[in-house]
Amino acid sequence: MKIEKLTPAFKDYLWGGTRLRDVYKKPCDFDKVAESWELSTHPAGESRISDGEYDGVTLNEYFKANPGVLGEHVQKFESFPVLIKLIDAKEPLSIQVHPSDEYALKAEHEYGKTEMWYIVDCDPGASLYFGVNRTVTPEEFRRRIEDNTVEEVLNRVPVRPGDVFFIEAGTLHAIGGGILICEIQQNSNCTYRVYDYGRRGADGQLRELHIDKALDVSRLTPSEDRCKALETQTISGGSMTRLAECRYFTADRFNVESEVNIFIGAGSFVSMTAVEGAGQISGTENTVDFRPGDTMFIPAGSGAVTVRGKSTLIAVGVKGE
């Protein structure tokens, strides 16, 4: 099977900027391009194959036609487990929380969401919220939402490019303004909005909050504010760092100095998103050029794959039990 370059679905949320279009050359004419769903089978926004035999075909259709491309490890899931986004937050996102699978399946008939953030770029002094800065009771938290002081008990974390955050279901969080993120997440769109700074939507109405459900699922004790990345390994032509792993995905950063060889086994597909630099990815069947912001799907069992060109890529797959 060939390596496939993907075309994302786009979202024009009110807090978005224009970097994904203006800097990363995403083909979108929205006034605001808040998110590009790079690898997605979610009905709220499916990505597509961008060239070749399957040009224009949705990822779901491609998988149905070629089930072997997913790999053995994906078979343990009822549906495709991963969703990858690029997020351009010109303004802060709402303070929010995601439920666990157990809660979400009962309340929303959808899976919950665990996710990982990789900071691609940010303005000087940018920060985000990750959890609370001290233990808070549900009663106090509700009161602070109502009297607009909730930010006082949230853990504000300064960020810089290359930082990584692993956000388990139940962790309160919000991306701050001036941050560009690569998000690897469980394949779900289930979010409870806790606080939104009094903003109004396009209809002029205050955006909906989900306070009761959020209080049901939120962890109101402090959490670690950084993902503890495993040791970086030096490999021929560059380096590899395991950023995060969980039941739903693994994420590795490849820093390519010249040429790096990667083996894609039968266990899992690998998705590669270029967050810096340009180059080529070559397999046994074809070669795909990439530039910053591009995402490529490499089928399971592809064997030896070569990445050429000084670049940084986030590689995502699914691990075995």
Q: Cα(320)–Cα(122) distance, rounded to whole angstroms?
A: 34
Structure-block tokens of residue 94: 């709402």
| CA pair distance 192, 80, nearest whole angstrom | 22
**Left if phi > 0, otherwise alpha if psi is -120 to 50, otherwise beta: which for 131?**
left
Structural contact between residues 220 and 132, judged by C-beta atoms closer than 8 angstroms: yes
Given the residues 19, 21, 193, 253, the one annotated as active site: 193
- CA dist 174 and 265 (Å) reads 36
Q: And the tokens for 69?
A: 């491309």
In residues, how long is the chain?
321
Active site residue 247: no
DSSP code per residue over 11-77: E--TTB-SHHHHTT--S---S---EEEEE---TTS--EE-SGGGTT-BHHHHHHH-GGGS-GGGGGS
Identity of the amino acid at 269: F
Residues 97, 173: Cα–Cα separation, whole Å: 6
Catalytic positions are 193
